[in-house]
Structures are given as structure tokens and as C-alpha cells.
């Protein structure tokens, strides 16, 4: 039995997410890092402020690092990690390849570069119920792109707001379910290309170590074992489709038999259960305490 770690991206961060940490002293150094990088106390942020890109991306990474600081040394060895969008950066922090200070600083730099890459504003829309070929044809007609593949009929599209809205209207007419995401940039589409090279430079300037376990590249699901391919994968994903379905399949191929999502939210655990119902998957957000998380993991791996 082997443990796999899931690191989510932005979207589910709210002031309520801090409850599970309950003033855990092991998390405090991470909150201090976030405050230094953003100039904001994480516990004083409003729900609206938490959706601002330059706050959301470092906040999500800081939260995962704080959870990891609180329980990482009490978990069994992690066999592999996968991160969703900016969560891939957090995964390298949890794997010891990047120091927490660098993870939070890089997450903020990433957000600012993405904001600057497409000043026209953007939108992202989750579609469910249409296969990839159908969604690809819809995107071609409306000038948007597939940003994330979550499953065979669960995809996220991104682009300019009006184009995404028109694509969503046609998808609804075809019987799909369409859910707007609280993200206002066209992440993981070609509109983010101006951010790729400067973010790669920022990654190269950070101090790297080999990860303690492979981190799956978001764009392919392939395992990454060393800093150079990690930097390439993290920068490329800004403007390329994230294949989360391939990441989930990759966790199974690496031998992971239990999956733990660090939160905030529980979206990755739900997707894992839907795609691989035989593999137990839960999120920290589904428990009232970190002791409950540790107990569940121990029982599943027993």
C-alpha cells in the first residue's frame, strides 16, 4: 500500500479553510512567509480578496505547505505527488525540492506574470457531459481552448470572456453542464505564452534540490525526478493544456493505492474517486482535525 499526494490549484480558498489547522504552531512559519511576500495577514483576508490572482496563488500554496508542515513528518513515505495548476508548484515544496519561501514567492511571481500576459481579462468554464472531440470542435468555432482535461467528459475551457460565454451557451444547448470558475485569466491556454519565459527564468533563479518522490508533470502525467525537467514542466504548463486525467492515471501506474488531497477544498479527491473508485481518496478539508486525517491514512494503508 502506497500513499500519493494531491495538491490542488486555486478556486476553493475561503477564510473558513483555516479551521482544520486550529492555530497549529508548526504552520506559523508558513503564514509568516505569506505575510512577508504579499504584505497581508492571511487570517485577515476577505473571501473577495482571496479570489484576487496575486493573493490566491500564493495563498493556496502557503495553505498546502502549512498543512504539510503540520502533518508531513507524521505520514508514511509519499510515493508520488501530483499538483493541479499552481498546485504543481506546491507539490515540489512538499517534496522538498523547493524551500517554502521560494514556493510562495514563485507562486506570487507566477500570478503577476499571468495577469500581465493577457490584459484583456479572461474566463474559464468547466464543461461536463461532452467528449473531448466535441469540446475541441466547440472551442475551434468560438476561438477558445481546452485548458484542462479532468476526465473523458469533464473539461475546462479558457479564453476571452465573450468567447468563453458563447462556447458555454452552445455547450448547454448540446446538453452539457457548464460551470464558470472564479478565475479571471485564461490559464493554460496560448494566451499565457508571454508569461512562460519570464517564469522559467524565475524558476531557474530559485535554489532547487531533487524531490524526495516523483512529481507528475501536469501537462502529461509523466514522473519528474530532477530540477531541470521540473522547471520546464512548471513553465510550460502556463500556456499548455493540463492533463489531470493523465496525472491520476500516472498515480495509479506509480503504485499509489491511497490518495490524500491537502486542500483547500476536496475537488481533486472527488475527481480521483470518480475516475478510480477502487482507490480511497480523501481531502484534508473533509476532516474536522488533522489527527482525523492521520488516522484515516493509517487505516487505509494498514
- For residue 205, being part of any structural domain is answered with yes
**45 located within any domain:** yes
The tens digit of pLDDT for each residue in 222-257 reads: 999 999 999 999 999 999 999 999 999 999 999 999
Element (H, E) at 141: helix 132-142
pLDDT for 6: 98
Residues 22 and 136 in one domain: no
Q: Is the bond leading into 273 cis (omega within 30 degrees of zero)?
A: no
Q: What would the mean pLDDT of 82-95 be, rounded to a whole number?
A: 98
Q: Are residues 71 and 207 in the same domain?
A: yes
Asked whether residue 47 falls in the same domain as residue 110, the answer is yes
User: Would you state the pLDDT for residue 154?
Assistant: 98
Give the tens place of pLDDT for each residue, 40-67: 999 999 999 999 999 999 999 999 999 9
Mean pLDDT of the chain: 97
On whether both 109 and 224 belong to a single domain, the answer is: yes
Q: Say whether both 209 and 286 belong to one domain.
A: yes
Q: Which of 244, 27, 247, 22 is nearest to 126 (CA)?
A: 244
The number of domains in the chain is 2
Same domain, 100 and 196: yes
Question: Both 16 and 63 in a single domain?
Answer: yes
- Residue 22 resides in a domain: yes
The residue-averaged pLDDT of 30-44 equals: 97
Residues 174-185 have pLDDT tens digits of: 999 999 998 999
Q: Are residues 101 and 228 in the same domain?
A: yes
Strand order in the sheet with 223-224: 223-224, 215-216, 78-83, 3-7, 258-261, 281-283
Sign of CA dihedral 205, 55, 237, 258: positive
pTM score, two decimals? 0.96
Q: Are residues 136 and 278 in the same domain?
A: no
**Can you tell me whether residue 175 is helix, strand or coil?**
coil
The model's pLDDT over 276-294, given as tens digits with 9 standing for 90+, comes to 999 999 999 999 999 999 9
Considering the domain architecture, whether residues 198 and 101 belong to the same structural domain is answered as yes
Same domain, 202 and 242: yes
pLDDT digits (tens, 9 = 90+) for 93-148: 999 999 999 999 999 999 999 999 988 789 999 999 999 999 999 999 999 999 99
SS3 of residue 215 by DSSP: strand
> Is residue 153, in this structure, part of any structural domain at all?
yes
What pLDDT shows up at residue 178? 97
Domain shared by 288 and 269, yes or no: yes
Each residue's pLDDT tens digit, 194-216? 999 999 999 999 999 999 999 99
Per-residue pLDDT tens digits for 96-106 = 999 999 999 99
Residue 15: inside a domain, yes or no? yes
Q: Is residue 23 very low, low, confident or very high in pLDDT (cuts 50, 70, 90)?
A: confident
Residue 233 located in a structural domain: yes
230: domain CATH number?
Answer: 3.40.366.10
Q: Does residue 10 lie in a domain region?
A: yes
- Supply the CATH number for residue 161's domain: 3.30.70.250
Q: Can you give the residue range of the structural domain that contains 106?
A: 3-118+190-301
Residue 185 lies in a domain: no
Amino acid at each position: 500500500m502506497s500513499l500519493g499526494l494531491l495538491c490542488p490549484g486555486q478556486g476553493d480558498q475561503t477564510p473558513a479553510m483555516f479551521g482544520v489547522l486550529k492555530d497549529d504552531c508548526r504552520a506559523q512559519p508558513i503564514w509568516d512567509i505569506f505575510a512577508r511576500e504579499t504584505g497581508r495577514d492571511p487570517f485577515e483576508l476577505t473571501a473577495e480578496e482571496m479570489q484576487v490572482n496575486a493573493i490566491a496563488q500564493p495563498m493556496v500554496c502557503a495553505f498546502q505547505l502549512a498543512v504539510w508542515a503540520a502533518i508531513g513528518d507524521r505520514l508514511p513515505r509519499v510515493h508520488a505527488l501530483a499538483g493541479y495548476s499552481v498546485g504543481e508548484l506546491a507539490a515540489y515544496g512538499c517534496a522538498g525540492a523547493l524551500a517554502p519561501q521560494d514556493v510562495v514567492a514563485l507562486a506570487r511571481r507566477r500570478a503577476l506574470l499571468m495577469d500581465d500576459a493577457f490584459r484583456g481579462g479572461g474566463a474559464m468554464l468547466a464543461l461536463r457531459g461532452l467528449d473531448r472531440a466535441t469540446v475541441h470542435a466547440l472551442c475551434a468555432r468560438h476561438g477558445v481552448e481546452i485548458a484542462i482535461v479532468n476526465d473523458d467528459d469533464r473539461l475546462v475551457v479558457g479564453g476571452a470572456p465573450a468567447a468563453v460565454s458563447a462556447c458555454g451557451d452552445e455547450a448547454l444547448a448540446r446538453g452539457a453542464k457548464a460551470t464558470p470558475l472564479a478565475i479571471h485569466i485564461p490559464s493554460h491556454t496560448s494566451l499565457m505564452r508571454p508569461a512562460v519565459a519570464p517564469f522559467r527564468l524565475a524558476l531557474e533563479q530559485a535554489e532547487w534540490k531533487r524531490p524526495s518522490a516523483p512529481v507528475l508533470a501536469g501537462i502529461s502525467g509523466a514522473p519528474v525526478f530532477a530540477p531541470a525537467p521540473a522547471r520546464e514542466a512548471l513553465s510550460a504548463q502556463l500556456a499548455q493544456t493540463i492533463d489531470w486525467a493523465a496525472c491520476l492515471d500516472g498515480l495509479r501506474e506509480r503504485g499509489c493505492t491511497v490518495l490524500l488531497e491537502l486542500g483547500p477544498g476536496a475537488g481533486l479527491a472527488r475527481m480521483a474517486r470518480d475516475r478510480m473508485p477502487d482507490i480511497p481518496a480523501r481531502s484534508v478539508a473533509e476532516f474536522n482535525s488533522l489527527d482525523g486525517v492521520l488516522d484515516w491514512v493509517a487505516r487505509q494503508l494498514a
